[in-house]
Amino acid sequence: GENVEQHPSTLSVQEGDSAVIKCTYSDSASNYFPWYKQELGKRPQLIIDIRSNVGEKKDQRIAVTLNKTAKHFSLHITETQPEDSAVYFCAASKGSNYQLIWGAGTKLIIKP
């Protein structure tokens, strides 16, 4: 079955700097890769997603890149702000049933 690995588990960056979180997946048939942000005690919320027919997608300060050959995808956050502090999860899925397989999460800490 699918396995998703996420690194690093904790990332601390200075406010204003960029943050990069990386995920690898094992199933080459996976075709949908969302990123979720979860604040402490809150529900996960989708921040960006990418499908396998696209190599890169941007939304303001957030971007996701996908390398299907290497089976990895990354989240890039530029000009980080204190409100970016949260746990970020990557996930992968295939087919129409949307059975997401999640990474273990990255705790992003933005230092003032």
Partner 1 sequence: NAGVTQTPKFRVLKTGQSMTLLCAQDMNHEYMYWYRQDPGMGLRLIHYSVGEGTTAKGEVPDGYNVSRLKKQNFLLGLESAAPSQTSVYFCASRYEGRVTEAFFGQGTRLTVV
Binding site for partner 1 (CB under 8 A): 1, 4, 6, 9, 31-32, 34, 42-46, 49, 51, 89, 91, 93, 96-105
73, HSE (Cβ side, Cα atoms, 13 Å) = 32
CB of 13 to partner 1, least distance (A): 21
Give the residue with the Cβ less far from partner 1, 14 or 45: 45
Measured in residues, the chain has a length of 112
Contact 101/91 with Cβ under 8 angstroms? yes
Nearer to partner 1, 77 or 90 (CB): 90
Name the minimum Å distance from CB 16 to partner 1: 29
> CA 2, CA 102: separation in Å to the nearest integer?
10
